[in-house]
Chain A
Amino acid sequence: MPISMPAKLSAAAAALIALIVLPQLTSGYVVYLANLMLVYIILAIGLNILIGETGQFGLAHVAFYGIGIYTTAILTSRYGVPFPVAVIAGMLLAGAIGFLLGAVSFRMRDIYLALSTFAFGEAMQWVFKSWDAVTNGPNGMRIPQASLFGFRITNDHDAYYVVLAVAIVTVLVTILLMQSRLGRAFRAVRESEPAALALGVNVRRTKVIAFTLSAVYAGLAGGIFASFSSFIHPDSLGFTTTILVLTMIVVGGLGSIAGAVMGALILGLIQELLRQAPSYQEIIYGVILILFMMYAPKGVIGALKARFSRSGSAAK
């Protein structure tokens, strides 16, 4: 039983209204959480383009996120660059480095690609930690208050609508992009490189574009993070965070934008809730991952689809 278009639209409208009134009803912490979830959504959608759509196991996502954060923070605080320009600069720098990483690793696949990009991610974290002059090294760095066209963003509430708008635009742009020729090329490369080649897809270029694009998304997420956060520490830019984003898209359902959004919400919230029980946090999180892989291997989206098609065929 496929969900009808009007039902989808009204659900989307209801969600939008709920999101818009959210900060009026809740406290600062909830708004901070909402901001963080929206950043996770941008991160997850970006990684989904590379892993879910194109099938390339890049595990350096958080490195580009870090590049976005540091570029935005450094440009606004030391050089007085306007916030939106700084975010775009962060996206471009992340994209450029993502392009280079894609250009050297497009020949690798599977585990080799996973490990080389993992190594790149770890090396970048080392750079964040050790390049004292630029990133203030292991002490972390204060991020100045962002200002947007004269408005100062002083707290989470101020940032919320900016973050929400960027996240919504990102989701919409991604939906369009995935329906375009490029999106089809991504999926063709994922399914079979030789077949994609035979269909006239430039496999090498498609992979490099996927790497670049995914890095741009992560850079954007970093810039947006800098709008409401006041501090960044290199310890939070390690493999654990990449794994968090990876599990988001797998738990949500690989290759699906809705899946990436859901995964980001589910795991992001679980992470935050588990902070209440720090001593059990790791155990519970690990068990959840294992159970998801055992009983919902295609993610939430896959499980929902199976549900709907089953009840649909039962109705016949």
Chain B
Amino acid sequence: MDWQLIWLFLQQGVASGLVTGSIYALLAVAIVIIFKTTDAPNFAAGELFMAAAYVALYLLVFLALPFIAVVPLSLGVAFIAAALFYRIVLQKIGSSAAVTVNVVIATLGLSFVLKGAVRKTGVGDVPRSFPSIFGNDTITIGQAVLTLQDIGILALAVVSMTIFFLFFNFTRTGRAMRAVGMNPKAAVLVGINLRRTRMLIWGLSGLLSSLAALLIAPKILMTADMGSVVILGFAAAIIGGFTSLPGAVLGGLIIGIAENLVGLFISSRAISVAPFVAIMLVLVLRPQGLLGGKVAVKKV
């Protein structure tokens, strides 16, 4: 392989990687905010993402609603569904560390239910494609070729992540969420409603998954199993340290770029195993992730 080709591949890999990586970043943020406040990984994140994409598809294609109505409706549905799951199921189970495995299994239960429900509706039984609002025109940056749709995905993902960070850092509710993530007991002492905040976080996480789904859906073939992409969100979260939001975003971009480079330089077959190798390497070599800070040692 000569240097010109390598240089071309590098540019294309980085450009395409940033686009898909921004989606993984959104998913990783959705996973991390729940882990920080509920102490359990949400294994239903992928199916929330998948179901949200189908809700949008249903509204857009089967009910023929305009795009401007579909976006808020499907975001709203995802928000409410995730919040209700927390309110009805997880609050009953509780959220102390002793029941983490029960919470995990409940989220797995949710993922089965969502997958089965989508298959049952008759919309999710055959692969479908999602209409795109951006054209298929291409833009060349350096030597990398991107479609307008790619640019749109990246731009919207960056904008929504920015809004999200502003919300987390500068609003009362966002700060309450951060406080719950840092120390739930202290948060209660300063007057934060723990249950309400956690419920909102679940809703927000559902909303982020839905956003990721709306952005990526036109680029991929939709099936009821498309939620498996969430493993890349988990990989991104791990690379970022699993509790750090900037880490999750950085991890998402790294995974996106790495995935594209592996596809270009090694083989498309290796793409599917690359994230798992990455997860293992990161956890063995640097268990706290890139931006995870020091490992806290629990005292007895």
Residue of A nearest to B241 (CB): A112
In the bound complex, do residue A297 and residue B93 qualify as a contact, i.e. CB atoms below 8 Å apart? Answer: yes
In the bound complex, do residue A120 and residue B109 qualify as a contact, i.e. CB atoms below 8 Å apart? Answer: no
CA distance A126 to B271 in the complex (A): 11
In the bound complex, do residue B280 and residue A116 qualify as a contact, i.e. CB atoms below 8 Å apart? Answer: yes
Interface residues of B in 198-247 (CB under 8 A from A): 231, 234-235, 238, 242
Contact residues of B: prevailing secondary structure: helix
Tally A residues with Cβ within 8 Å of B: 43
In the bound complex, do residue A110 and residue B100 qualify as a contact, i.e. CB atoms below 8 Å apart? Answer: yes
In the bound complex, do residue A293 and residue B102 qualify as a contact, i.e. CB atoms below 8 Å apart? Answer: yes
CB neighbours (8 Å) of A254 from chain B are 101
CA distance A281 to B284 in the complex (A): 38
Residue of A nearest to B103 (CB): A293
Interface residues of A in 279-295 (CB under 8 A from B): 279-290, 292-294
CA distance A112 to B100 in the complex (A): 13
Stretch from A100-108, A181-189, A211-219 at the B interface: A100-108
CA distance A149 to B273 in the complex (A): 41
Stretch from A70-78, A79-87, A242-250 at the B interface: A242-250
Interface centre among B112, B113, B277 (most CB of A within 10 A): B112
CA distance A290 to B116 in the complex (A): 14
Q: Decide if B89 is an interface residue (CB 8 Å cutoff).
A: yes
CB neighbours (8 Å) of B102 from chain A are 250, 293, 297
In the bound complex, do residue B116 and residue A119 qualify as a contact, i.e. CB atoms below 8 Å apart? Answer: no
Contact residues of A: prevailing secondary structure: helix
Interface residues of B in 10-36 (CB under 8 A from A): 35
Q: Decide if A122 is an interface residue (CB 8 Å cutoff).
A: yes
Interface centre among B101, B120, B235 (most CB of A within 10 A): B101
Q: Decide if A30 is an interface residue (CB 8 Å cutoff).
A: no
Q: Decide if A123 is an interface residue (CB 8 Å cutoff).
A: yes
CB neighbours (8 Å) of B109 from chain A are 285-290, 293
Residue of B nearest to A296 (CB): B102
In the bound complex, do residue B242 and residue A282 qualify as a contact, i.e. CB atoms below 8 Å apart? Answer: no
Nearest CB of chain A from residue B103's CB, rounded to whole Å: 8
Interface bits B98-141 vs A (CB < 8 Å: 1, else 0): 01111101101111111111011000000000000000000000
CA distance A195 to B269 in the complex (A): 47
Known A119-B276, A194-B300, A286-B109; contact A293-B117, beta-carbon cutoff 8 A: no
In the bound complex, do residue B106 and residue A294 qualify as a contact, i.e. CB atoms below 8 Å apart? Answer: yes
Known A114-B41, A122-B231; contact A290-B113, beta-carbon cutoff 8 A: yes
Interface bits A284-316 vs B (CB < 8 Å: 1, else 0): 111111101110010000000000000000000
**One of B105, B111, B120 near A246 (C-beta < 8 A):** B105
A-B contact count, CB below 8 Å?
Answer: 117
Residue of B nearest to A299 (CB): B102
In the bound complex, do residue A250 and residue B280 qualify as a contact, i.e. CB atoms below 8 Å apart? Answer: no
CA distance A284 to B111 in the complex (A): 12
In the bound complex, do residue A282 and residue B112 qualify as a contact, i.e. CB atoms below 8 Å apart? Answer: yes
CA distance A26 to B90 in the complex (A): 42
**One of A108, A194, A281, A293 near B283 (C-beta < 8 A):** A108
In the bound complex, do residue A290 and residue B273 qualify as a contact, i.e. CB atoms below 8 Å apart? Answer: no
**One of B100, B108, B272 near A289 (C-beta < 8 A):** B108
In the bound complex, do residue B113 and residue A119 qualify as a contact, i.e. CB atoms below 8 Å apart? Answer: no
CB neighbours (8 Å) of B112 from chain A are 282-283, 285-286, 289
In the bound complex, do residue B238 and residue A115 qualify as a contact, i.e. CB atoms below 8 Å apart? Answer: yes
Known A105-B284, A194-B300, A287-B113; contact A126-B101, beta-carbon cutoff 8 A: no
Range of interface residues on B (Cβ < 8 Å): 35 or more
Q: Decide if B177 is an interface residue (CB 8 Å cutoff).
A: no
In the bound complex, do residue A286 and residue B276 qualify as a contact, i.e. CB atoms below 8 Å apart? Answer: no
Q: Decide if B172 is an interface residue (CB 8 Å cutoff).
A: no
Residue of B nearest to A287 (CB): B113
**One of A105, A285, A297 near B99 (C-beta < 8 A):** A297
CA distance A294 to B92 in the complex (A): 6
In the bound complex, do residue B110 and residue A119 qualify as a contact, i.e. CB atoms below 8 Å apart? Answer: no
In the bound complex, do residue A115 and residue B110 qualify as a contact, i.e. CB atoms below 8 Å apart? Answer: no
Q: Decide if A130 is an interface residue (CB 8 Å cutoff).
A: yes
Q: Decide if A111 is an interface residue (CB 8 Å cutoff).
A: yes
Q: Decide if A241 is an interface residue (CB 8 Å cutoff).
A: no
Q: Decide if A192 is an interface residue (CB 8 Å cutoff).
A: yes
Interface bits B76-97 vs A (CB < 8 Å: 1, else 0): 0000000000000100110000
Known A110-B100, A293-B109; contact A283-B117, beta-carbon cutoff 8 A: yes
Residue of A nearest to B109 (CB): A289
Q: Decide if B257 is an interface residue (CB 8 Å cutoff).
A: no
CA distance A284 to B101 in the complex (A): 20
CA distance A114 to B280 in the complex (A): 11
Nearest CB of chain A from residue B95's CB, rounded to whole Å: 12
In the bound complex, do residue A192 and residue B300 qualify as a contact, i.e. CB atoms below 8 Å apart? Answer: yes
CB neighbours (8 Å) of A286 from chain B are 108-116
Known A108-B283, A294-B93; contact A289-B106, beta-carbon cutoff 8 A: yes
In the bound complex, do residue A282 and residue B119 qualify as a contact, i.e. CB atoms below 8 Å apart? Answer: yes
Q: Decide if B279 is an interface residue (CB 8 Å cutoff).
A: yes
CA distance A107 to B112 in the complex (A): 32
CA distance A109 to B251 in the complex (A): 21
Q: Decide if B184 is an interface residue (CB 8 Å cutoff).
A: no
A residues at B contact (CB < 8 Å): 51, 57, 104-105, 107-108, 110-112, 114-116, 118-120, 122-123, 126, 130, 192, 194-195, 243, 246-247, 250, 254, 279-290, 292-294, 297
B residues at A contact (CB < 8 Å): 35, 41, 89, 92-93, 99-103, 105-106, 108-117, 119-120, 231, 234-235, 238, 242, 269, 272-273, 275-277, 279-280, 283-284, 287, 299-300
Can you list 8 A-B contacts (CB < 8 A)?
Answer: A110-B100, A112-B242, A114-B41, A123-B280, A194-B299, A292-B105, A293-B103, A294-B89
